[in-house]
Amino acid sequence: MFWDGVINFEPKEFDSPDVPGSGVNMKIGFMHMLQSLRVNCGFKLLVDSGFRTPAHNTAVGGEVNSAHLTGEAADIRAIGPRTRFVIISNAIRLGFRRIGIGDTFVHLDMSLTLDQDVMWTYPTGTTKKIPTVTVTTTI
Ligand SMILES: [Zn+2]
């Protein structure tokens, strides 16, 4: 195994699509929490997005300060109300303090520099977060 004690995940599952092998940038502390979540959920957790390069993060509409950039976040596939409930209830119990709920996935991160104890949703029908950063230009 690549990460000590992390038996259900491999780095390639967390690769930023534009840089094969970049999944190794996931933080070990986050991976231990995700491993605990996997054990408590009792079913395979599919990773829709893990580590992101700045270029890929921009391409998918991620926040400029997204925890995906620092290897402290993952979007876990969650289709259906029961799967979503199991993932989220266990995540909260295990100490995840930043949770985003999409139609088909749950974003989990353990950034300590971003807001704590927050849960947000994504617009219906989207599979990625819509940027909320406003870019201003001078004419
Ligand atoms: Zn995410």
Q: Which of 49, 84, 79, 46 is nearest to 63 (CA)?
A: 49
Instruction: Give the Å distance between the CA of 74 and the centre of ligand 1.
Output: 5
Alpha helices in the chain (DSSP H): 28-41, 54-59, 81-94
pTM, to two decimals: 0.88
Instruction: Give the Å distance between the CA of 139 and the centre of ligand 1.
Output: 34
Architecture label for domain 11-121: 2-Layer Sandwich (3.30)
Instruction: Give the Å distance between the CA of 99 and the centre of ligand 1.
Output: 9
Instruction: Give the Å distance between the CA of 2 and the centre of ligand 1.
Output: 22
Contact 75, 46 (CB under 8 A): no
pLDDT digits (tens, 9 = 90+) for 27-82: 999 999 999 999 999 999 999 999 999 999 999 999 999 999 999 999 999 999 99
Lowest mean pLDDT among 5-9, 66-70, 91-95, 121-125: 121-125
Phi, psi for 19 (deg, rounded to 5): -135, 90
Q: Where are the domains of the chain?
A: 11-121
Rounded CA gap, 101 and 85, in Å?
A: 11
Instruction: Give the Å distance between the CA of 100 and the centre of ligand 1.
Output: 7
